[in-house]
Structure 1
Amino acid sequence: MSVIGIEKMEFGVEDVAACTRFFKDFGLHACADNPTYFTTLSGAGINVSPLDDNTLPAPFESGSTLRRITWGVENTASLAEIITQIAQCDGFRLTENGAECRDPNGMTVAFCVSQQKPVSLDISPINQWGDIRRIDAPSPVYEKATPINIGHVVFFVDDLPATEAFYCQKLGFQVSDRYIDRAVFLRAQINGCHHNLFLLKLPHRGRGLNHVAFTVRDIHEVIGGGLAMNRHQWSTFIGPGRHPISSAYFWYVNSPTGGAFEYYTNDDYLTEKWQPRELEHSLVSFTEWAVEGGLDYDTRRQVKPNKE
């Protein structure tokens, strides 16, 4: 089996207009023939529909949320193998482009042969002690972000062992790291980025969507994207900051889709040589540093909390 990554996400929301405005401001490309469909540079898709759209599967939580996630696979042989693996799963059905079922957490997961295209971009090198790669050129400053692809999704889960087993045993996902009795980071391929899926079990939070993460070029684009969202009056959940567990720099923005949207870059690349770590979940293990509330576009300083 060879799941490549996230191909498409379909949301059912209370305010379609607010979501389409959010997607445009976030830097996603709006399709000319479908005003509710947006793409990354690679072609990964985001679609938004009203809550009561009968073409969407049943939600796994109330209110605005993700209703279906489609994973892209390498080829038709891989798709056939996955169809065999999920044929006995809840909600299984063949679709026009592949098949779908429900995972143990109630999320509808679909599979198709990936149609995403390679993306080639000029990335400005970073100069470090003993490793000088950028000469006679400044680092870039971005006025906004343009997401390259959908890097990962994070779900709150009710049954962590069952949901992890589905993705690892049925779909061939690999464990990258684990928070003991709390969460697991999974990557779709043996050789790949730190995680495409993060499953999180909290004692007082049922199943649902936590956030969707989009890869960008570098830390400068993370900052530029977050500042641009502040300029457009979208609030920051947390960021900028850095995750020590994946090495990624991040900026999370609150969205009207029901989960936060994240810009990130610089996550670890793992191979079959990697040994998953068993860590205690804590602020220190999850966040090396972070700015609460983001940075203000006008002052370029931390957003100050409102005083009543």
Structure 2
Amino acid sequence: MSITGIEKLEFGVEDLPTCEKFMQDFGLQPMLQHWGEPRREFTTLSGASVVLHPKNSEVLPAAFEAGSTLRRMTWGVDSPAALAALQPRLEKMPGFRQVGEELECCDPNGMTLRFGVTALREVELPVTPINQWGDVRRIDQPSPVYAKAEPVNIGHVVFFVEDLAATEKFYCEHLGFQVSDRYIDRAVFLRTQVRGGHHNLFLLKLPNRPRGLNHVAFTVRDIHEVIGGGIAMNKENWSTFIGPGRHPISSAYFWYVNSPTGGAFEYYTNDDYLTENWQPRELEHSLVSFTEWAVEGGIDHDTRRQHKKTGAA
């Protein structure tokens, strides 16, 4: 299928100034704003964007959960012909409409989706190699230390879902997503193309948890930028949900920061790259299968030790 990845995420938020500060502290770059325009837009190095709207903005679709949250996500496709070919698949979906040169509908979980020809740009960055036993690649060169992160792209989004089977069917049968791995009767990891990173979308069903946003994940250069970004957010007094750590299911290193937009924002790197030769695994959902290791509360900027909760001994 021709869907390339996430182009844009639009949030409806209750506290626009606080969310604006969070985005800049997180390392996203502010776009030029027009005088009097209530929305705020921020971008990654690739051009993928996060847009903040007031919660009651008339330009937003209905929310799928209460409070500040994601209201619409835009997926890119690789050509106008691919977008035209996608239209018959979407026309029977709830909420279908054509908005300029883009298509819009709702998925079975109540999230509003848009589809348009991708405008993302290729990003070439110097990435310092690592040294491993028998594979020495960094010579006469230290590993980097990052003062803060500068996200390269929006890598994936994670939703709580109420009907896992119906939502998975929509993305796989109508949009051509590929199953990467699965937690039996609990969750599925999906990628947009046969060849690509471990997942662009993760659907998670938990007992007594209604639909909603879990987190949004941003790719960074390497594990050092994951660490630098998380510590910088700690310095700005944004609380860590969990991290740093590593997911064995995708091999990715992560750091999750609680976001005033709803859910969490994640820095991550080193996820598995899959091809047509990959065989999806069916695993029991457990602490061990989801997290190899993780630091609760993050790392304190001043002490460079695990951040202690207020009142902890």
Q: TM-score, normalised by structure 1?
A: 0.99
* Letter of the 2:19 counterpart: C
> Where do 1:1-308 residues align within 5 Å?
1-33=1-33, 36-307=40-311
SS, match of residue 71 in structure 1: strand
Structure 1 residue 307: Cα displacement? 1.7
Structure 1 residue 33: Cα displacement? 2.6
Contact (CA 8 Å) 2:148, 2:229: kept in 1 or not?
yes
Deviation per residue, 1:172-230 (Å, 9 max, x gap)? 00000000000000000000000000000001110000000000000000000000000
Structure 1 residue 97: Cα displacement? 2.5
Deviation per residue, 1:49-90 (Å, 9 max, x gap)? 111101000000011000000000100111111111111000
Deviation per residue, 1:20-41 (Å, 9 max, x gap)? 0000000000012357100000
Contact (CA 8 Å) 2:33, 2:40: kept in 1 or not?
no
Deviation per residue, 1:245-264 (Å, 9 max, x gap)? 00000000000001100000
* Letter of the 2:142 counterpart: P
Identity %: 70
Identify which range, 27-36 or 215-224, moves more after superposition: 27-36
Structure 1 residue 117: Cα displacement? 0.3
Once residues 79 and 173 of structure 1 are traced to their aligned partners in structure 2, the CA distance between those partners, rounded to angstroms, is: 15
Once residues 190 and 147 of structure 2 are traced to their aligned partners in structure 1, the CA distance between those partners, rounded to angstroms, is: 32
* Letter of the 1:209 counterpart: L
* Letter of the 2:255 counterpart: W
Once residues 94 and 292 of structure 2 are traced to their aligned partners in structure 1, the CA distance between those partners, rounded to angstroms, is: 40
- Computed over aligned residues only, the root mean square deviation of the Cα atoms, in angstroms, reads 0.8
Contact (CA 8 Å) 2:256, 2:266: kept in 1 or not?
yes
Once residues 291 and 131 of structure 1 are traced to their aligned partners in structure 2, the CA distance between those partners, rounded to angstroms, is: 29
Contact (CA 8 Å) 2:259, 2:265: kept in 1 or not?
yes
Once residues 154 and 138 of structure 1 are traced to their aligned partners in structure 2, the CA distance between those partners, rounded to angstroms, is: 35
Specify every segment of 5 or more residues in structure 2 that has no aligned partner in the other structure, as ranges.
none
Q: TM-score, normalised by structure 2?
A: 0.97
Once residues 301 and 54 of structure 1 are traced to their aligned partners in structure 2, the CA distance between those partners, rounded to angstroms, is: 45
Identify which range, 34-43 or 218-227, moves more after superposition: 34-43
SS, match of residue 253 in structure 1: strand
